[in-house]
Structure 1
Amino acid sequence: MLIPNQKIELPLLKESGVTLYMKREDIIHPHISGNKYRKLKYNLIEAKQQGHDTLLTFGGAFSNHIAATAYAGKEAGLKTIGVIRGEELEEGWQDNPTLKLASEHGMRFHFVSRSEYRNKTTDAYQEKLKMTLGGFYLLPEGGTNDLAIKGCEEILTEEDKKFEFVCSAVGTGGTIAGIINSAQPHQRVLGFPALKGDFLQAEIRKWSDGGDWDLIQDYHFGGYAKITTELVDFINHYKKKTGIPLDPIYTGKMLFGIFDLIKKGFFKSGTQILAIHTGGLQGIKGMNEVLKRKNLPLLDL
C-alpha cells in the first residue's frame, strides 16, 4: 500500500530553505488510521491463525487504540473487549465520543479502577480477566508487540530514502521502533514524545537495536492529553493553510516541535524532512469536550 507524501508549502519553510513532506498515514483507512492500522495488521492475522474469536485490549477514555481495535475487530469478524481505565466512566460512557464509537462497532467494555488497571501486564491479572470474560487474543495497551513492530516497519518505503530526517510522534514507542528498524543508515529519526519522562528510551530499545535516533522531549505540553491555546491555534492554522488535520495528542505536538526547531535553526538550509502523520483524528471530538469545559478555543473539525 503506497501512502502519499504531501509537500508542505508554508512561508517559514521557504525562508529557512527546509523541505518538509508529510506521509499521510491518516488516510490509510477511514476508521483505522495511521499507526493503529499498521500495529493491528499482523495481530489480526495471528489472532485468526490461533483460532481466537475475541480481541481484548486496554485503554483510557479517549484512546485511539480502543476505537481502532473495535472497528478492526468488526471488519475482521472478531468480537472485541475493551478494559477501560476509570470505573467512574461506567456511568455515562455514552457521552464519550471515543467509547460511543467503539461501542457502535461492537466493542463491549470492562471498566476498572486505576489501581486495578496498573496490573494489566501481569500474568495473574490476565488470567483473572480470562476467568471473568472468557478466552481472548491479547493486544497490549497502545497495541505495541512484536507483530505491531513488524507492521510499523512497513511505514517507510523505497521513495523515502531521499529524506535526511524522519520525524514521528511517540506514545508507547512501538511506531518509532518500527521506523528506526527500516530507516536508511544516512537517515536520522527524531521522536516527539506525548508523555513526560525518560522511560521511553528503554522501551524503544526493547524493539529496536541500533539506528541513528533521538527523542526531542520539549514538546509534550505538560504530558499526555495536555493541550494549550497556543497548540490549538497552531493546529487550526496548519489545517487552514495545508488542508491537513492534526490530532492534538500526537501529530499536532510533533509538527509544533518541528516548526519550532526550524525557527531555532536546528535544521540547516537544504534539509529534507519527512514527518509521519500517525492518524488519531477521532480524538479531536473528545478533546473539544475537554476544551469546552475549560472555556478554551476549540479545534476545527
Structure 2
Amino acid sequence: MNIPNQLIEGFPNITLSIKREDLIHPFVSGNKFRKLKYNLLQANNEKKQQLLTFGGAFSNHIAAVAALGKLHQLKTVGVIRGDELVNSIQENPTLRFTQACGMELDFVSRAGYRNKTEASFLSGLEQKWGSFYLIPEGGTNALAVKGCEEILTETDAEFDFICCAVGTGGTISGLINRAQTHQKILGFPALKGDFLKEEICRFATNERWDLISDYHFDGYGKVTPELIDFINRFYLETGIPLDPIYTGKMVFGVIDLIQKNYFPEGSKILMIHTGGLQGIEGMNIQLKNKKLPLLLTHA
C-alpha cells in the first residue's frame, strides 16, 4: 500500500509504499513465515518430530517456531539466552506465549549461549531433548533465504528501491537474489557493526545492495523517545503498526533519507514490513519501567 504524502511532504516526486508481510499470519508472520516455510518441509522430509532453535527473551523467531510447532503438531524446544529468566516466564509475554504453544524452554547462561553452534553444545542438547531438526538463531540458513526470495513478485518490478530491516541477513539475501536488475536493495541493520556484510555475502548472488547503518538507535533492542514518537505518529496517520526493533527503525530511516534527498527524483520505493509485532507488548513493559512513553498497540 502507498504511504500518505504528508509523511514525505515536500517530496511529491517520490513514491513510497509498504508491503504488509506482517499480515500473512497472526503468529507466524512476515519474514518468519518465509524463513520457516522450507525448513518445515525439510524437517518433514527428514521425518523429524521436534524443532529446536535459539533466541532471546522477546524473540520473534522463538515465538514463531512455537506457533508453527503447535499448528503442525510438532514438539518444539527453545534454547533461551539468559538463565536468570527461568523464574520470570509469566512476566514475559513472549515466553508465556511460547509455553502456551507447548514449547519446552531451556534457559542457558549468556556465556554458555555463545557456544550454541559448537558440536559439543549441540550434542549435549540432543542428549537432553532427543533427536531434533535444528533451526539457527533468527532462522537464517539457505532454506530460509529460499523462502525470503518469494517476498518479491512480478508486481513489485515497478519499484527502484527495496528496503528492509536486517537482523541475521536472511531476509535481505532473499530480496537481493530475487530483485530485478534495475532494482537496488537497501538494508537497515538493527545491530551495530559491519559483520553482517560477510554473512549476507554467503547467500547473496549479486552486488546490487547496500547497508544503511545509521538507524540502529544505539543497538539491538534499544529505542529512544524520538523513535517511539515516530512509530506512534506513523500508526495514527497510516493505521500500520510497526515493531520497534526492526521495521520501525527501517521506516524511520527511509523517510529520513527521503528528506535528506538520498533518493533520486522520481524514485519508487518499496519497504518490506517483516512483522515482529508480538514484541510490542514486551517493549512496553520495559518502557513503562523506565517511565518512557508507550507504543500504541495494534489491538
Q: When the two structures are superposed, what TM-score results if normalisation uses the length of structure 2? A: 0.98
In the TM superposition, what are the counterparts of 1:1-301 in structure 2 within 5 Å?
6-16=1-11, 17-301=13-297
Per-residue deviation, 1:10: 3.0
Per-residue deviation, 1:14: 4.8
CA distance in 2, matches of 1:12, 1:294: 29
Q: Indicate the SS of the match to 1:15.
A: coil
Unaligned runs of 5+ in 1: 1-5
Q: Indicate the SS of the match to 1:276.
A: strand
Q: Indicate the SS of the match to 2:28.
A: coil
C-alpha contact 2:2 2:18 (8 A) present in aligned 1:
yes
Q: Indicate the SS of the match to 1:57.
A: strand
What is the number of equivalent residue pairs in this alignment? 296
User: 1:223-249, CA deviations, whole angstroms, 9 ceiling, x for partnerless residues?
Assistant: 100000000000000000000000000
CA distance in 1, matches of 2:105, 2:164: 30
C-alpha contact 2:165 2:190 (8 A) present in aligned 1:
yes
C-alpha contact 2:53 2:62 (8 A) present in aligned 1:
yes
Q: Indicate the SS of the match to 2:181.
A: coil
Per-residue deviation, 1:268: 2.4
Unaligned runs of 5+ in 2: none
C-alpha contact 1:181 1:211 (8 A) present in aligned 2:
no
CA distance in 2, matches of 1:124, 1:89: 24
Moved more, 177-186 or 205-214: 205-214
Q: Indicate the SS of the match to 1:151.
A: helix
Per-residue deviation, 1:12: 4.2
CA distance in 1, matches of 2:88, 2:57: 12
Q: Which runs of 4+ in 1 moved over 4 A?
A: none
Q: Indicate the SS of the match to 1:7.
A: coil
Code of the aligned partner of 1:259: I
CA distance in 2, matches of 1:270, 1:12: 16
C-alpha contact 2:8 2:259 (8 A) present in aligned 1:
no
C-alpha contact 1:44 1:76 (8 A) present in aligned 2:
no
Q: Indicate the SS of the match to 1:21.
A: strand
User: 1:210-230, CA deviations, whole angstroms, 9 ceiling, x for partnerless residues?
Assistant: 230000000000010000000
CA distance in 2, matches of 1:21, 1:32: 23
Code of the aligned partner of 1:92: S
CA distance in 2, matches of 1:235, 1:92: 28
Per-residue deviation, 1:73: 1.0
C-alpha contact 2:152 2:179 (8 A) present in aligned 1:
yes
Code of the aligned partner of 1:193: P
Q: Indicate the SS of the match to 1:81.
A: strand
